[in-house]
Amino acid sequence: MNRRAQQKAAHVTTRRLLDMKQNGEKISVLTAYDYTMARILDRAGLDVILVGDSASNVFSGHSTTLPITIEEMIYHAKAVVRGVQDESGRAMVVIDMPFMSYQLSGEEALRNAGKIMKEHECDAVKLEGGRVIADTVKRITDVGIPVMGHLGLMPQSIYKYGSYRVRAQEEREAEQLLEDAKIIEESGAFAIVLEKIPSALAAEVTRSLTIPTIGIGAGVECDGQVLVINDILGLNREFHPRFVRQYVDLNTVVEHAVRQYVEDVRLSQFPSADESY
Ligand code: KIV
Which pLDDT belongs to residue 8?
Answer: 82
Among 132, 157, 158, 137, CA closest to 148: 137
Handedness of CA 115, 118, 119, 125 (dihedral sign): positive
Ligand 1 pocket, CB under 6 A: 31, 50, 52-54, 96, 193, 195, 216, 226, 228
Question: From the CA of 98, how far away is ligand 1's center (Å)?
Answer: 11
- The series of mean pLDDT values per 10 residues for the chain, 277 residues long, is 83 98 98 98 98 97 97 97 96 98 96 92 95 98 98 96 95 98 98 98 98 98 98 93 97 98 98 98
For residue 193, the CA-to-ligand 1 centroid distance in Å is 9
Q: Evaluate the CA torsion angle 102, 108, 114, 115 in order and state its sign.
A: negative
Cα separation, 125 vs 140, in Å, equals 9
CB 15 within 8 A of CB 60: no
Going by C-alpha positions, the residue among 75, 204, 208, 215 that lies closest to residue 149 is 215
* Residues with a known catalytic role: 195
- Which of 73, 76, 214, 226 maximizes ligand 1 atoms within 8 Å of its Cβ, making it the mutation to test the pocket? 226
The closest alpha carbon to 226, from 36, 12, 49, 76, belongs to: 49
Per-residue pLDDT at 2: 85
- Report in angstroms the alpha-carbon separations of 47 from 38, 62, 112, 203: 12, 28, 25, 21
Ligand 1 centroid vs 186 CA: distance in angstroms? 23
- Best mutation site among 125, 193, 214, 227 for ligand 1, i.e. most ligand atoms within 8 A of its Cβ? 193
- Cα 154 to Cα 64: distance, rounded to the nearest angstrom: 11
Q: Where are the domains of the chain?
A: 3-246, 249-277
Minimal-distance CA residue to ligand 1 atom 8 = 52
Q: What pLDDT, on the 0 to 100 scale, is given for residue 136?
A: 98
Q: Which atom of ligand 1 is nearest to the CA of 65?
A: 1
pTM, entire model: 0.97
Q: How far is the CA of 60 from the centre of ligand 1 (A)?
A: 15
Strand-pair partners of 93 = 49
Give CA–CA dist 201/216, Å, rounded: 13
CATH 3.20.20.60 assigned to domain 3-246? The reply is yes
First to last CA, the chain: 43
Given this model, what pLDDT does residue 250 score?
98
